[in-house]
Amino acid sequence: MADPTTEVKSIAVGSAGPGCKKVDPILVADKVRRQFGGLTAVDVEHVEIPRGLITALIGPNGAGKTTFFNLLTGFDKPNEGSWSFEGKDLAGVSPYRVARMGMIRTFQLTKALSLLTVIENMRLGAQKQPGESFLTALIRPLWIKREREITETADALLKRFKLDAKREDYAASLSGGQRKLLEMARALMSSPKLVMLDEPMAGVNPALTQSLLDHIKDLKSNGTTVLFVEHDMHMVRHISDWVIVMAEGKVVAEGPPSTVMKDQAVIDAYLGAHHDTDLGAVSPKTDTTTLRATAKETD
């Protein structure tokens, strides 16, 4: 394992800790707060996501991870706060425009459109559809060319995600795990700069998890930044360069995986609210660990 001090130096400015500044942040959030009635679901003072790396966002159920994703991508509106992507202010920007700027997310519960086929779902993930530009739409050779490019990209991704045999099947006929793969493949249709994955492994058959891990590592080698929510501590340890821990809406710890997983605040956060997890998993003494919520569905 890499020396954590070197990791911190190349990723964070100064020492690691909640809200620490990054050498090269792609996403910066400030004072983002979301309340549901009396419940403060998200209350993030400051957080920066490092560019070109894989960052895991962990924390017990109900910590506010999904809500934070929703806020950052425009699917929900905060009571207050500001955040920017590549220096561009994103508050109030619609999910569609956020996606066009290069920030794409997937959902904890998959949103594959079940009444469309796999290839149709993939085509929907493309940006700049043939009909979008008036001029392109008028000139038949242009839109035919664009449509062919979209189909080629979609087929290449389906092959990479081993979904090519399902190309003409309805998304409804796929297993939960295959739908997660489809959603991830679809997210890549537009070559995003930042991919946000909400529990990509939940419900995925163990036989597919290795390929999912490889896909995420591939993203990084292609220069894409990845931010993912995950309960599987083995996966977090294995593929993330940086870990951010949320509990009760706040960022309570962050740093390289090797140090964060030993942090008392992290252990407390899980012990406090995650009664259904394998607690041995976060003990500093054990290393080979899984902290998967037992309630998770499996394929």
Ligand X SMILES: Nc1ncnc2c1ncn2[C@@H]1O[C@H](COP(=O)(O)OP(=O)(O)O)[C@@H](O)[C@H]1O
The residues binding ligand X (CB under 6 A) are 36, 39, 41, 59, 61-67
In whole angstroms, how close is the CB of 268 to Mg ion at the nearest point?
20
Which residue's CB is nearer to ligand X, number 99 or number 244?
244
The nearer residue to Mg ion, 11 or 236, going by C-beta atoms, is: 236
- Classified as helix, coil or strand, 30 is strand
Please say which residue, 108 or 211, places its beta carbon nearer to Mg ion: 108
Does 66 bind Mg ion (CB under 5 A)? Our answer is yes
Tell me the two tokens of residue 75.
């699917």
Phi, psi dihedral angles at 178 (to 5 degrees) = -65, -35
The whole-angstrom separation of Cα 33 and Cα 42 is: 5
- Shortest distance in whole angstroms from residue 75 CB to ligand X: 11
Q: Which is nearer to ligand X, 7 or 254 (CB)?
A: 254
Contacts for 83 with CB less than 8 Å, ≥ 6 apart: 27, 28, 29, 30, 32, 71, 72, 89, 90, 91
Q: How far apart are the first and last CA of the chain?
A: 32
- Residues in 97-156 that interact with Mg ion by CB under 5 A: 108
Least CB distance to Mg ion at residue 61 (A):
7
* 36: partner contacted, choices ligand X, Mg ion, none (Cβ within 5-8 A by kind): ligand X
Q: Is 47 helix (H, G, I), strand (E, B) or coil?
A: strand
Q: How far apart are CA 200 and CA 214, in angstroms?
A: 12
73 interacts with, out of Mg ion, ligand X, none, CB within 5 to 8 A per kind: none
Contact footprint for Mg ion (CB under 5 A): 65-66, 108
